[in-house]
Amino acid sequence: MPQQALSTQFVKLKIDNTVYCIKSFPDIDPHGNPDQIETTDLCSEYHEFIDGLKNYGDDLEFGANYDEAKFQELNAIGTTHKAVDILLCSDKTDETGANGKFSMTEAEVAVRLNGGGVGDVMEMTIVIKPKSAITFATVA
């Protein structure tokens, strides 16, 4: 039986109740990498560690075509905490994430205009800073 694969074609970003079409998305790790707290003492033969706080790494950056209205909308959000979903949609009209979704109940949202050159498409980057756990769920 051939392996089933999914295309990235219909991945979308949802902030509160607004869905944004994106061009690229970062690695998403719902487990986070816990900080390692060193517990080594002078009687230890090796370095010893325990898990600390979950760390989702740097900001999550999503590439998108520049759209003035969407840029203004995202820019107005500021550092207000918003619910964010990364939707793995099945087609152009799907806004539920039929192939699954990663969710944050709270995240800071920012947007920036990307630099460009001659003949480039204007793009923006939507920056998400998780302020809650990232969870994965299948959509029934």
Question: Is the distance from CB of 60 to CB of 84 less than 8 angstroms?
Answer: no
Q: Inform me whether the pLDDT recorded for 101 exceeds 80.
A: yes
Residue 86 is predicted with a pLDDT of 96
Domain with 67 in it: 11-29+58-137
Residue 32 is predicted with a pLDDT of 78
Structure tokens that stand for 66 in this block: 């520049």
Question: Is the distance from CB of 89 to CB of 27 less than 8 angstroms?
Answer: no
Report if residue 99 sits inside a domain: yes
Q: Inform me whether the pLDDT recorded for 1 exceeds 70.
A: no
What is the rounded distance in angstroms from the CA atom of residue 49 to the CA atom of residue 35? 9
Q: Inform me whether the pLDDT recorded for 30 exceeds 90.
A: no
Residue 2 is predicted with a pLDDT of 64
Report if residue 82 sits inside a domain: yes
* Overall domain count for the chain: 1
pLDDT band for 111, please (50, 70, 90 cuts).
Answer: very high
CATH number, domain containing residue 69: 2.30.110.20
**Mean per-residue pLDDT, 111-123:** 95
**Mean per-residue pLDDT, 96-107:** 94
Residue at 28: amino acid letter:
I
Matching residue, tokens 């991945």 = 11
Report if residue 46 sits inside a domain: no
Other CB atoms within a 10 A radius of the CB of residue 107 amount to: 23
Report if residue 83 sits inside a domain: yes
Q: 61: buried, middle or exposed (CB in 10 Å: 19+, 13-18, 0-12)?
A: middle
Residue 33 is predicted with a pLDDT of 81
pLDDT in tens, 42-97: 999 999 999 888 777 779 999 999 999 999 999 998 777 889 999 999 999 999 99
